[in-house]
Amino acid sequence: MMTDTLQNLSNALAQTVASASPSIVRVEGRRRLAASGIVWSADGLIVTAHHTVQKEEGLQVGLPDGQTVAAVLVGRDPTTDLAVLQAEAKNLTPLTPAAESMQVGHLVLALGRPGQTVQATLGIISALGDNWRTSVGGLIDQYVQTDVVMYPGFSGGPLVNTAGQLLGLNTSALVRGISLTVPAVTLQRVVDMLVKHGKVRRGYLGVNTQPVRLPAALEQQLGQEAGLLLAAVEPGSPAEQGGLLLGDTIVAVEGSAVQQHDDLLALLSSDRVGTSVKIRIVRGGQVQEMSVVVGERN
């Protein structure tokens, strides 16, 4: 009975790999080891990991049928480690997004095609969390950590469930030493923006800042040690139009504490371009809240 159960599981996993195989391509975007990519649309749109596309000309994609075709870079977003290519191919098979939500403990497969054939590794979802921002400010809609082994060339390939449906894109570049997956909802948002604009828009206020220690009373009131002093406010900038002044100290954006310039950059993400955000400042020793429409960095 146990032997039959294991054999059935083994056969089911092999079938899952076989069913997903037509949607996984090889991406030749760097000098040595090729990476993997996911077929996003039947007309040749491919999503892969940004860090594996180290050149912008002479790109090639290895198709499931063994052909190698030329591709061009549509756009890339280093902050979420995603890139989109347009391959000279038609009638490809996109992966179907997963119908059910992920849970810790679910069996998953990481798939790649760094060579001619599909490779696979089995694991589980080891941790799930809320949305988070990468060290360079990219918004990831859900924290997804697995225990799958990221073999060389697997970056850019898909994480699939036992039905062979897409859960996200695997990358080894976002956090060192941890197997993370960029979830499908983030892929959809970033791919749409890259196809439309060729880049992910970046927000800006038009200020120069420097970290400063808050007075003890404000530190206790706000629950943080530091803020960002505005050392310069560009004329005509979103900051000036929103009423921010030289000498103000930013302590929060939309309720998130700001203590270093990187904190501010992370909060001025593409999803906030053109929107009004609440910025908490200290002016003359008093805490105030201002509304500023985030601009777009050229």
Which residues are identified as catalytic? 51, 81, 155
* Contact between residue 156 and residue 170 where contact means Cβ atoms under 8 Å apart: yes
The kind and range of the H/E element at 76 are: strand 68-77
Query: Residue 104 pairs with which residues in a beta bridge?
Result: none
Count other C-beta atoms under 10 Å from residue 146's C-beta: 25
The kind and range of the H/E element at 125 are: strand 119-129
What are the Cα distances from residue 252, in Å, to 15, 226, 255? 50, 10, 6
Name the CA radius of gyration of the chain, rounded: 23
Q: Strand, helix or coil at 177?
A: coil
Nearest to 104 by CA among 145, 64, 132, 66: 145
